[in-house]
Amino acid sequence: MKRFYGLWAVVLAAGFLSAGCVSGPSLWNSGPLSDWTGTWNNFSSYFDNPGIVRAYEILAEREGKSPDDIKTRYVTGTTYKCDIAAMGIQGNTVTFYSKPQSVVGAVSNVEYKGQYVYKGEVSAPNNPDRLWKHFETLENIPYKHLIMLPAEADITGETMIHFHFRYGDDLDKLLAADGWFATVIAYDSTMDLLVNHMTAD
């Protein structure tokens, strides 16, 4: 009987591990990037989604502008500019996708994949109080450096988990890119979460 219970415990543990995590950090997935574990879509890829129109309308009324004006600001602005459609992070591996993903641990549309090591905290000379976590890869992919802020809901009263990051081959240029906050959100974020995030005071 003891042997049976021991085997059952192993099966249960394996089940939990295979289930993985939906979109946030995973306790079983240790690694230098574990705080960002999950599948994340580019925030700006949603700007043309019909469900976001409500956000443009709310902001337009608040600012005395038209919804088209607000949409143009988001679509053409540089704050959220991001060439990466989606990211998958697990352990010390980052997978970059050419299209947004709709499931966790997706394996389709892989554009680049690399293993990253943690190099420490960095900050820009003109903004020393903002600390980015710096990761670097030695693999031959365009994104040698990743600097990232925590994955969290950073606006009071809203719950959309997301994080800001920058990517490229020159760390100094990334730190000097004031006003650029490429953003990814959990792949399963709802339109309601997106609208609430965009319209939060």
Lookup: tokens for 167: 């990517």
Lookup: tokens for 21: 């995590």
- Report whether 199 contacts 181 (CB < 8 A): no
- Nearest CA to 87 out of 184, 20, 180, 161 is that of 184
Lookup: tokens for 137: 């890869």
- Nearest CA to 36 out of 173, 132, 139, 170 is that of 132
Which class for 49: exposed (0-12), middle (13-18), buried (19 or more C-beta within 10 A)? Answer: exposed
Q: What is the CA 168 to chain-centroid distance, rounded?
A: 16
With a CB cutoff of 8 Å and minimum separation 6, the contacts of 53 are 67
Q: Which residues pair with 157 in a beta bridge?
A: none
pLDDT at 92: 94
**pLDDT(120) > 50:** yes
Amino acid at 158: E
Residue 74, classed as helix, strand or coil, is: helix
pLDDT tens per residue, range 30-80: 568 999 999 999 999 999 999 999 999 999 999 999 999 999 999 999 999
**pLDDT(1) > 50:** no
Ordered structural domains, the chain, with CATH = 23-199 (2.40.128.20)
**pLDDT(22) > 70:** no
Count of alpha carbons within 13 Å of 98, Cβ hemisphere only?
5
- Pairing of β 93-97 and β 162-168: unpaired
Tell me what the pLDDT averaged over the chain comes to.
84
- Report whether 134 contacts 122 (CB < 8 A): yes
pTM for the predicted model, two decimal places: 0.80
